[in-house]
Amino acid sequence: MHEFGDRWGEDLREFFDGLLRFDTTDGGEAPAMAWLREQFDGFGFETYEWTADAAALAEHPSFPDDPAEIEVADRPSVAGVVEFGDADAGPTLVLNGHVDVVPATRSAWSSDPFEPVWDGDRVTARGAADMKGGLTACVFAARHLAEMATESDWDLNGRVVVEGVAGEEEGGIGAAAAAMDNPYPFDRDAAIIGEPTELGVVTAVEGSVMKRLRIEGRSAHAATRWRGESVLPHFERIRHAFEALEAEREERVTHPLYEDYPVKWPVCFGTVDAGNWASAVPDELVAEVRIGVAPGETVASVEAEFQARLDEVVAESEWLSEHPPSFERFSIQFEPASVDRDDPVVGAIRAAADEVGLDSEPYGGTFGADSRHYQHAGIPTVLFGPGSIDQAHFPDESIDVREVETAAGVIADAAARFCGHSS
């Protein structure tokens, strides 16, 4: 890794700093994508670009049914391709990273989130860990591999595709589009996504279903509250029932990669909005809940479990039976995904990690990722990247750039192995 840093360290830091300066929140990826494509051109990569079709995404279970709710205009994704030897005789490996980032509240940061602040080897900026650092690692892995293929005796056949995709934080707009409608004139055999895994090998990601619960009561003046029907006790019964189901699922739904987590498949009521006046009985409540989905399950099956538990609560209440609550999907859904630990791409990244003394034992991530789109398309996908998920979406998000360099070197080694080189 010292050799990789000596060769690419300065260029990598300059590229990383430039990418971090783009504000890629709220569908604003286009300027960064144009810059990224220019960079790919300058590196000698063959470039591709695609934009998602909202109508096609609306048919996908991860996205809202109404195309108008899916923002795709002026949100391209781009890729750069490097070929080696007889490219068609070897495999094609995708190295993927998302360019979009979540918003940053300026008052919560000690500096401008889009003006990178360097403190030695650590840089603070929105997207440093999630996941412009990982995308930078993928880019420089491809650059290193291209150089080694021409300047060494490495016998490689195949190609590497570096993707910078849009809208991952909104369900994987760019990756889903690429998985559903291949933007390249060749097939893809496997993928590595540079999400922040702390240089660990993640072979499974959890899914989630987002639901909106709406309960109706009856308003009354606070002075005669017995004339009303407060929604709060009904909500508490539903919440407790969901907590009980969460506990049941912790015992019943198992997975070897998740047994060390204190809560494997969490249920989280993230927002609750009830009532409209302090001196009135609250007659309406809207709550939004995220429900974890284990690898091997489907969003639909878990959704049905919680609907059935809600139906039980409703059946026990005369009021709710007469005024049944609604429980509808909203936003985006994340199917879980996993790849066999014996798959060649997993073997390649594990061997490369072992080579530099990293822990290569696969584990499961409790977050969602674009890997699910590629897995669904039959493309085995593993996650490996720099940075910690603990930094993701966090004020003063930061990463040690040496970790980005290490990730780039490991990914380059894994890609070489996947394309036939024996280290």
Is the pLDDT assigned to residue 1 strictly greater than 60?
no
Is the pLDDT assigned to residue 423 strictly greater than 80?
no
| String of DSSP letters for 276-335 | S-TTB---EEEEEEEEEE-BTB-HHHHHHHHHHHHHHHHHT-HHHHHSPPEEEE-S--B-
Given this model, what pLDDT does residue 152 score? 74
* Residue among 328, 245, 236, 335 at smallest CA distance from 289: 328
Least confident of 99-108, 130-139, 153-162: 153-162
- pLDDT confidence tier of residue 5, bands split at 50, 70 and 90: confident
Percent of the chain with pLDDT over 70: 99
* Strands (DSSP E) found in 152-266: 158-165, 190-193, 202-205, 207-216
341 exposure class (CB count in 10 Å sphere: 0-12, 13-18, 19+): middle
What is the token pair recorded at 399?
């990463």
Is residue 372 a contact partner of residue 205, using CB atoms and an 8 Å limit? Answer: yes
- Amino acid identity of 103? P
Given this model, what pLDDT does residue 2 score? 57
Is the pLDDT assigned to residue 24 strictly greater than 80?
yes
Is the pLDDT assigned to residue 52 strictly greater than 70?
yes
Rounded-to-integer distance, Cα 421 and Cα 352, Å: 12
Cβ contacts of 302 within 8 Å, gap of 6 or more? 207, 209, 291, 292, 293
Rounded-to-integer distance, Cα 205 and Cα 295, Å: 7
Rounded-to-integer distance, Cα 142 and Cα 214, Å: 49
Given this model, what pLDDT does residue 151 score? 79
Per-residue pLDDT tens for 29-50?
A: 999 999 999 999 999 999 999 9
* pTM recorded for the entire structure: 0.93
The pLDDT of 194-217, averaged and rounded, is: 98
Rounded-to-integer distance, Cα 248 and Cα 269, Å: 18
The pLDDT of 200-211, averaged and rounded, is: 97
Given this model, what pLDDT does residue 153 score? 73
The pLDDT of 86-111, averaged and rounded, is: 96
Average pLDDT, the chain: 96
Residue 297's beta-bridge partner residues? 295
The pLDDT of 268-293, averaged and rounded, is: 97
Rounded-to-integer distance, Cα 234 and Cα 324, Å: 11
